[in-house]
Amino acid sequence: MRGLRRWWDDTAGGLPATFWYLWSGLLINRAGAFAMLFLSLYLTAARGASPSLAGLVVGAYGAGGAAGTLLGGVLADRWGRRSTLLAAHLAAAGLMVALAFSRHLAVIAVLAALVGLAHSMPSPAFVAAIVDVVPEARRSRAFNLQFWAFNLGMAVASLLAGVLAEASFLALFLVDAAATLAAAVVIALKVPETLTRRPAVTLRAVAGRRPGLHTALTDRTFLTFVGLTFLLAVLTMQTSTIMPLAMRTDGLRPSAYGLVVALGGALIVVGQLFVPRLIEPYRKSTVLAVSTGLMALGFGALTVADGLPLYLGAAVVWTVGQMLAAPPNAQINADLAPPELRARYQSVFYLTFPAASFVAPALGGLSLQHLGERHWLVVGALGLVAAAGHLLAGPPRERRVAALRAAAQRSETVSAGH
């Protein structure tokens, strides 16, 4: 019992109550966000859309998501985290109800884009609020729990979506809306505003310019990190875009693909809570280099995979890499963001994922077609490039973080003086 309590203290102890309410809202949000997983099936089966038209509507959802990420970051820094989270959740719930009862494809396409906008707005605000309330020494654990909640919620969403889609598409959308509204209620009742207004001297002290969204888009140190994260995201997207095609080429059934994906999800749900204590003694850049190296090894191994056991073994390797990468990746992103631009930096960071979801299938499909199994050597090489990049970029990142901390202390001194 004493060992279990020590493990829990190391994993989640010392985190403020507001974090746990944010965590609960995120878990409810992810567990309920299942309707859009079946949007293409709904369009073709219930609305008579062609596969190409269904693809365009799903693409509209993705485009709305990219815009929503930036909008959410700007609003979270201007309005506040709580206001942005409430507005996004309430808008998403209302739009989902409208989508449930819409019949015309043009209206559905517009609503899908707006739902994408509303679904993506909370991400920067959630992370910025976590950084606001969690002490720096505990942030790695907080981000680890956030990643765990996200994956647990997605696993629940996948199970619920299949059951509800078979019963009723109307129920699929309405239950999604109800879950989103439940998350909004948790935030409204339990999450205070975490944004602290302060003199905007941090960025001026470091970069000598007035802070804004353009600051994140021209911050070379930050953009280098974003680029390396983009490579990691491209690797991660292989599991949902190119790997199913490779497994089909190897004569494996869809159930085999489902087993590989389920194994990865199960490993994260079971093992993610043990990651913080494992990586705590090491520098973040070293952990990220090792994690991306493991992902490179896992995906590179698919070059010789021709049966389910090898795919399952490779999945274990790259999933461990993903698990190790999650906490330091999120923490570095938080460390590089000046306090007054915290959510804006998060929004630029989160753009890597829709970008990777476009690049991975677009270029990966061509690569698999022309290179065959050698495609996985290219993917492995990208992972090794990212690993080397983290080792090289680590020292400049650490110097930048030190400068930001010094500037933040000067900002607090100015605030105290007033």
Same structural domain, 169 and 292: no
Domain boundary among the residues 163, 195, 227 is at: 195
Asked whether residue 383 carries a pLDDT value surpassing 60, the answer given is yes
Q: Any idea what the Cα angle at residue 40 is, between residues 38 and 45, rounded to 5°?
A: 90
Residue 139 covered by a domain: yes
Domain boundary among the residues 159, 175, 195 is at: 195
Lowest mean pLDDT across 51-55, 298-302, 351-355: 51-55
What per-residue string of b and e applies to 213-241 under the rule 16 or more CB within 10 Å gives b? bebbeebebbbbbbebbbbbbbbbbbbeb
Domain boundary among the residues 195, 220, 253 is at: 195
Mean pLDDT, residues 51-74 taken together: 83
Contact 330, 352 (CB under 8 A): no
Query: What would the two tokens of residue 408 be?
Result: 């933040």
Asked whether residue 415 carries a pLDDT value surpassing 80, the answer given is no
Distance CA 222, CA 336 (A): 6
Same structural domain, 253 and 141: no
Q: How does pLDDT run across 315-331, given as a tens digit for each residue? A: 999 999 999 998 888 88
More confident residue, 202 or 362: 362
Domain that holds residue 250: 205-418
> Looking at residue 317, which CATH number applies to its domain?
1.20.1250.20
Asked whether residue 206 carries a pLDDT value surpassing 60, the answer given is no
Q: How does pLDDT run across 154-191, given as a tens digit for each residue? A: 777 766 766 776 778 888 889 889 999 999 999 999 99
Same structural domain, 283 and 371: yes
Closest-CA residue to 137 (of 33, 307, 10): 10
Amino acid code (one letter) for 345: Y
Lowest mean pLDDT across 4-18, 156-170, 251-265: 4-18
Same structural domain, 218 and 329: yes
Same structural domain, 145 and 38: yes
Asked whether residue 262 carries a pLDDT value surpassing 90, the answer given is no
Lowest mean pLDDT across 31-35, 106-110, 241-245: 31-35
Residue 18 covered by a domain: yes
More confident residue, 91 or 308: 91
For the chain, what percent of residues have pLDDT higher than 90?
Answer: 32
Contact 330, 146 (CB under 8 A): yes
Number of domains in the chain: 2
Same structural domain, 365 and 260: yes
Predicted TM-score (pTM) of the model is 0.79
